[in-house]
A and B are shown apart, each in its own frame.
Chain A
């Protein structure tokens, strides 16, 4: 565990430095294209300021913004005891000293994410649709994956590099648009004074403005995918039950509902890409998530042991690559761990209608509805703003007193 986190940190630092160099270069070249004498330094300054301000915002308020944008609501143990228990279990299994807050997202699409840069202030959010579909072991697999993101410090890394990527894209686009629209007049005027030197700078700047975002994206996506695999491997180690996560991923990939509140910015945070339902297959290089079918195959290919070695072996076999998902130092120490039996409660075997009803009830509970079970079998749902003291059953007309 410790070596894993250390290796992760080292790799993140290398990546962040190379993205940072890219950002500084971009700022310098574009600044020079606008003002040949001394504009470069100003460009660097603006680029770094932009990054700093955005980072500060996401460091202090990032979690809150993300949770608010995705429409997540914090829950206590009595709203969903099982979910809360499972988060507690995974907190113990991972040895993380702090309990994450638990959120439910009001959506029927099955998905989940973790957030929080500081280890003592993190959160795990799952959709109501996920809770309605998965059995206990599957839910445990998903939560273990999210807990792994928290323990491996993936969120810090994703935030820092994600913002760098955003700033690089933003600066490049602003530069190209300004040349396209307003830049023409200015460019012709200034070219009279400075001549060829600036034209060369502008050509280099245009090339850089096109290439830098692509390079930054590739860097970001490559590492982000690796981290998904690593979180899967850690989840297996926490739960000692690869089939739980595998069948959860299968159920998630089979659903056709789209998570409406997710967007391009928040998509990399989720366990499975929430924006996949557009009919076309995304290119492997430009996707933040590894293909879900491949993740399932690797999990199912794990034989007998729940340690990192077993995951790495299965990964090599399924992908046919020799990429190190787990740092070598960690592999050396890893000893075989027995996989356990399915201990969770048996599969629910619900129909689609029952699932929808469960999800609906959960969402109402989140919105402070109260429930009365009538003797005729009807479950009466009472909205929080219902002020009267009595209510009649809609089917049998029985009178019920409210507290």
Chain B
């Protein structure tokens, strides 16, 4: 009688552990997915902003046709990209094309006085930030999820129900990987 009760308690305990472990794994996987979706939203926003930007600056920057064409080309490649790897590569190129553009802008004081351009620039800066912050958040979530999958005891449940490790969003652009300088100006 006593052994039966003990057995029932142990089994109930194990079942409860499995249920709660499974549920939390599902929750964390959804958080990873959600974080990925956020990156997509911001990338789409960047694609939408670029035609506007080109339209606004075209008249001012007659000598910078190459820079502008590079941006347009990088954008259409990024829009067409399908796989995660392709996407990361194309978006990296777009980022560096926009970086070059920001450097050139300094030579056009007229442009920097244009209200329309200033508000576009704010939108673009913010979208760039949002992309890197959502990437940052995505990688944090992936790290947490992968730790859960590897660590005991949740690794048992993860193995049984085939929870696979997620991929980090790696930065393709070599320049971004370098340790940045800190300027105290």
Contacts and interface: CB of A to CB of B under 8 A. Distances in A.
B180 A243 contact: no
Given A2-B144, A136-B125, A345-B125, A340 B180 contact: yes
Top 6 closest pairs, chain A to chain B, by CB: A85-B126, A93-B133, A92-B133, A95-B137, A341-B180, A89-B129
Interface of B: 35, 38, 42, 119, 121-123, 125-126, 128-130, 133-134, 136-137, 140-141, 144, 179-185
A85 B183 contact: no
Nearest to A341: B180
Contact of A93 (B122, B137, B183): B137
A123 to B, nearest CB: 20
A344 B130 CA distance: 13
A88 B130 contact: yes
A89 B130 contact: yes
Main SS at interface, chain B: helix
Interface of A: 1-2, 81-82, 85-86, 88-90, 92-95, 136, 140, 238, 240, 243, 300, 304, 338-345, 347
B179 A304 contact: yes
A133 B125 CA distance: 19
14 contacts: A1-B144, A82-B122, A88-B126, A89-B130, A92-B130, A93-B133, A136-B125, A238-B133, A338-B179, A339-B180, A341-B182, A343-B125, A345-B122, A345-B125
B136 A344 contact: no
Contacts, number: 61
A95 B35 contact: yes
A81 B134 CA distance: 19
Contacts of B35: 95
Contact of A338 (B122, B128, B137, B180): B180
Contacts of A92: 38, 42, 130, 133-134, 137
Contacts of B137: 92-95
Interface centre among A81, A89, A240 (most CB of B within 10 A): A89
Contacts of B129: 85, 89, 140, 343
A136 B123 CA distance: 12
Contacts of B181: 341
Given A341-B180, A343-B128, A85 B122 contact: yes
Contacts of A140: 129
B183 A342 contact: yes
B180 A344 contact: no
A81 B123 contact: yes
Nearest to A246: B184
A93 B35 CA distance: 10
B183 A81 contact: no
B139 to A, nearest CB: 10
A241 to B, nearest CB: 9
B133 A341 contact: no
A243 B184 CA distance: 7
B121 A345 contact: yes
A85 B124 CA distance: 10
A343 B125 CA distance: 8
Contact of B126 (A89, A300, A338, A342): A89
A24 B137 CA distance: 44
A107 B177 CA distance: 42
Contacts of B121: 345
A86 B126 contact: yes
Nearest to B181: A341
B134 to A, nearest CB: 5
Contacts of A243: 182, 184
A93 B138 CA distance: 9
Contact of A1 (B123, B125, B140): B140
A94 B136 CA distance: 9
B31 to A, nearest CB: 8
Nearest to B35: A95
A76 B182 CA distance: 34
Nearest to A82: B122
Nearest to B28: A2
A181 B130 CA distance: 62
B126 to A, nearest CB: 4
Contacts of A2: 144
A146 to B, nearest CB: 16
A85 B179 contact: no
Looking at A90, A93, A300, A345, the one whose CB has the most chain B CB atoms below 10 A away is: A93
B171 to A, nearest CB: 11
A90 B184 CA distance: 22
A226 to B, nearest CB: 24
Q: From A2, A92, A95, A339, name the one whose CB has the most chain B CB atoms within 10 angstroms.
A: A92
A1 B123 CA distance: 29
Given A86-B126, A341-B183, A343-B129, 7 more contacts: A1-B140, A92-B38, A95-B35, A95-B137, A243-B182, A341-B180, A345-B122
A363 B126 CA distance: 24
